[in-house]
Structure 1
Amino acid sequence: MQHFFSFRISKKHCILIKKHITKALCISLLIFHSCKDGNQNATEVQVEQNSHATLSYAKGFQIDNYGDFKILKVSSAWPGSTKTFKYLLHKKGSPAPDSIQADAVITTPISSIVVTSTTHIPALELLGVEKSLVGFPNLDYISSEKTRALIDAGAIQELGQNEAINTEKAIDLNPDVVVSFGVEGENKTLSSLQRAHIPVIYNGDWTENSPLGQAEWIKFFAALYDKEAVADSIFNTIETQYNNLKEKALKATNQPTVLSGAMFKDVWYLPKGDSWAAQLVADANANYLYKNTSGTGSAALSIESVLNTAQKADFWIAPNAFESYDALANTNDAYTRFDAFKNKRIYSFASAKGATGGMLYYELAPSRPDWVLEDLVAIFHPELSETQQPHFFYPLD
């Protein structure tokens, strides 16, 4: 099910990294003692230069840089994951240290990649490496005009449906790496890729709870292309714009009340108070009426309960896939009882679609939380915003 707090097209529907100095030192010593004589001095210098990638918001991954190689650790590949995956990234021309026990070994910079979520597409484009994408499951989900042009040119191959990736086609493409995701555990369908010696790595961007935490996963992809400096610059710009918008919103003299979500069958699903969606509303200086519900997932409520709490909400954000007031009214007459319906203050991202029907929000919003916040500030506090074309959120027809 898709709603405001979910960026995933299918099932995947979102602080500083602790510096383990002692562990890093132990790894360094193992690496030093395992090196060949000819490279011993160079490796000793690299170990001394070990450093962590600067991560300010993302909690689900960590990068340790040893010069000629890096260790990418993913500790949140799916919600509730207790396994930390370790990936060894070593530069071309440099041997991979055989003392490191890794789930995958990758030579960088990579030149070809298969990704499995539309949320991965913007990171590739922002880094300027979209031409390295050779395969994707269900190409119709991709909305970006730049990547769609590559699809139309035959540069990107169709690989099936979501988690059920066509592994035979993927093996024929022989990419340098496949970036996957897990929902409740490891994706067993990818084992055949690993047996074919194609590295498979997990990306858990969607498990992050903060908007900037999701955006910071661009550094995960940057490590594969040796483009860390580029990623730092891009993320710093997004972070600055986000925080500037947050400060601007605080100048508003009112704090409107906000409802989100809609019903699926007879159950109303909406984001809980610890979710990134709730944080976005708070950062836009609005009062999300379910901010005190604990958890990061979705709350399942009855229509009677939602009417009791939010019937008089000033705004209604992201009513699932609804694009018009008529569609809401025709689906359930109870929707017409909300003040936001009566006052025409409902906003949806459902109408912002790519050429083949994929929703731009699910693809791009995780990488550009500053654009999401800009939309919300313009909706909640129009007196603070200049007239602009929305990025994602449009008023219902």
Structure 2
Amino acid sequence: MSKFFSLLTIASIAIASVSAQAPTSNLVDGACVTNYDASIDYFPQKLNTADDKGTFFSVSYHNNYKIVENHKSGRNYVLVQCGTPAPTGLTNVTEIYNIPVTKVAAMETTAVPYLELLGVAESIKVIADGSLISSPCFQTYLSSGEVTNLSANNKTLQAEQLASVQAQFGINPYEPISNTTVSTGQTYEPDVLGRASWISYYAAFYNYENMANEISKKMIDNYQKLTAAAAGYDNPKPIVAWTTFDAPSQYNNNTASYILSNASYKVGLTKDAYGEMLNSTKSVYNSAAELLEAISSVDVLIDETFIGSDLTDFLKNYEIASGEESKYKFLEKKKVFREDGILTASGGYDWFEAPVAMADALLEDMLNALNPAAPSFTYKRNWLRNIALDEPIKYITADDCTWDESAPRPNLATTYVGGPFPIETSGASALSGSLIGAFVVSLASLTYLA
């Protein structure tokens, strides 16, 4: 680490008091400085990272600029409060940006829900492929003409489009340009809450630390309450496996294989939902028979295969013959899930968008997959679709928009305020609401800003 970065203090302090804020007379519309004073701290609102699970980024503060470090990519960004001078003599700097940004490009779909939660989705003016964005309100925004799809073939037009924005979140899939890219890394985080914590990374570019702090605090608190409610079960933990059929293609030498995933965030999510990952040291199997032998006693199977959409396709992909269903516990229990509960018409998976940013909402889905009584008997999963019960895919369109994209997007999670979840038993779905527990949707959880 350079001498420069060794002198930086990583932000882990709470929001400063109102009295410490920079005088509004120095700002234009509360954004840009008009009378710069080097002694003033222009960032009184700082990220509170005390409970942050993120491991691949950090933010440090100086009076008129911030340093955002992406530890996954090794890139470091200097964010300078507009109207103030950029610092000189810094080393290991990838790019310098004036903030707050107001016009950006989103090259990766996972960036969109973070900006929506912050209420700045309409700062996106260029998108790599809008047809893959599953947010119904962003689809509405796409139709407004305020945001354009990045040209895939016209390099001149593409360069003009990117020149019209202040920052580009993610890598251009058609023509990577390193010096205009703010690298991301949320999907590499080993923890579900760590992935959600990247809202702070994006917030730093908008001076929205206060909002990011509030969203993160509510999300972490809700996640912990849900986990605690599941930990009270007095029964064996269901065994869970996440598997994929990798069909023959040019990318695998036309040789099929079967993958058993033990990705860290999936292990953690399964554990937090009171499940247990299948204990296996092997991750790649050369045949369906070999994999099926390993997973025959699994209670819940999550199929991550992209080919096929129903149980018939699943049985074909995994070479399970008719009449053999009873050999596998997950089929006997009718516990076979896919991650395609919400799709766009062109096949874009919301699984790679909203649940990455909404950790507690993702946990609710996992809880319900393992125990239909959690977090309530009436809960409807968003992403994990049970193909053994022939649950339908929900294809999202702009007609499904229920919020204003110019304001913060509501988190899909509800706020849990009850005790331990009940366990579903025979006929449990017909039990009265008195056994469901206190599962309350509050205005605070819908806005995540109260």
1:376 alignment partner in structure 2: 366
Name the amino acid aligned to 1:90. Answer: V
Q: Quick one: distance in 1 between partners of 2:365 and 2:382? A: 7
1:305 and 2:290 are equivalent in the alignment: yes
| Counterpart residue number, 1:74 | 70
SS at the partner of 2:227? helix
How far is 1:283 from its partner? 0.9
Say yes or no: does 1:267 pair with 2:257. Answer: yes
* Alignment-derived partner of residue 169 in structure 2: 179
The percentage of counterpart residues that share the same residue type is 21
Cα deviation for residue 312 of structure 1 reads: 1.6
Q: Distance in 2 between matches of 1:93 and 1:48?
A: 13
Q: 1:190 deviation in Å?
A: 3.1
Aligned partner letter, 2:70: V
Question: Are the counterparts in 1 of residues 42 and 64 from structure 2 also a CA contact under 8 Å?
Answer: no
- Conserved? CA contact 1:181–1:204, under 8 Å: no
The aligned counterpart of 2:94 is 103
**Alpha-carbon distance change, 216 to 293 in structure 1, aligned in 2, over 3 angstroms:** farther
| Contact 1:122–1:367 (Cα < 8 Å) also in 2 | yes
Conserved in 2, the CA contact under 8 Å of 1:50 and 1:65?
no
The one-letter code sitting in structure 1 at the alignment partner of 2:198 is W
Among 320, 330, 345, the alignment partner of 1:334 is 320
Q: Distance in 1 between matches of 2:42 and 2:207?
A: 18
Match of 2:301 among 306, 316, 320: 316
Q: What is the rounded CA distance, in whole Å, between the counterparts of 1:48 and 1:242 in structure 2? A: 29
Q: Equivalent residues in 2 for 1:19-38 (5 A)?
A: 22-24=6-8
SS of residue matched to 1:94: coil
**1-side partners of 2:88 and 2:210: how far apart?**
28
1:243 and 2:224 matched: yes
TM-score (norm 2): 0.69
- Tell me what 1:354 maps to: 344
Q: How does 1:386-397 map to 2 (within 5 A)?
A: 386=376, 387-396=378-387, 397=390
CA–CA separation in structure 1 for the residues paired with 2:134 and 2:373: 32
Q: Is the 8 A contact 1:261 1:270 kept in 2?
A: yes
Distance 1:225 1:57 in 2: 21
Whether the 8 Å contact between 1:249 and 1:285 is mirrored in structure 2 is yes
The unaligned stretches of length 5 or more in structure 2 are: 10-35, 248-255, 391-450
- CA distance, structure 1, for counterparts of residue 341 and residue 154 of structure 2: 28
Could you say which residue in structure 2 is the equivalent of 1:62? 58
C-alpha contact 2:67 2:77 (8 A) present in aligned 1? yes
CA distance in 2, matches of 1:332, 1:304: 8
Distance in 2 (CA, whole Å) between partners of 1:261 and 1:171 is: 43
- State the secondary structure of the residue aligned to 1:59: coil
- Going from structure 1 to structure 2, the CA distance change for 1:167 and 1:287 (only over 3 Å counts) comes to farther
Tell whether the 8 Å contact from 1:91 to 1:107 is kept in structure 2 after alignment: yes
Contact 2:259 2:285 in 1 (8 A): yes
Alignment of 1:128-277 (within 5 A): 128-160=119-151, 168-173=157-162, 174-181=164-171, 189-191=175-177, 194=179, 199-254=180-235, 255-265=237-247, 266-272=256-262, 275-277=264-266
Cα 1:120–1:351 shift into 2, 3 Å: same
**In structure 2, distance between residues paired with 1:159 and 1:89:** 25
What is the identity, as a one-letter code, of the residue corresponding to 2:284? A
Contact 2:106/2:170 (<8 A) preserved: yes
CA pair 170-293 structure 1, distance change in 2 beyond 3 A: farther
Structure 1 residue ranges without an equivalent (≥5): 1-19, 26-40, 78-83
* Paired residues for 1:271-286 under 5 Å: 271-272=261-262, 275-286=264-275
Classify 1:301/1:90 alpha carbon distance in 2 versus 1 (closer, same or farther; 3 Å): same
Residue correspondences, number: 341
Scaled by the length of structure 1, what TM-score is found? Answer: 0.78
Q: Are the equivalent residues in 1 in contact too, given 2:105–2:124 (CA < 8 A)? A: yes
Give the conservation status (yes or no) of the 8 Å contact 1:320–1:350.
no
Change (3 A) 1:44 1:283: same
For residues 48 and 235 of structure 1, the distance between their equivalents in structure 2, rounded to whole angstroms, comes to: 19
Counterpart residue type for residue 257 of structure 1: I
What's 1:35 paired with?
none
Give the counterpart letter for 2:297 in structure 1.
Answer: K
Of 75, 84, 95, which aligns to 1:94? 84
What SS does the corresponding residue of 1:24 show, helix, strand or coil?
Answer: coil
Deviation at 1:57, TM superposition (A): 0.9
Cα distance between partner residues in 1 of 2:206 and 2:241:
41
Q: Give the whole-Å Cα distance in 2 for the aligned partners of 1:370 and 1:304.
A: 36
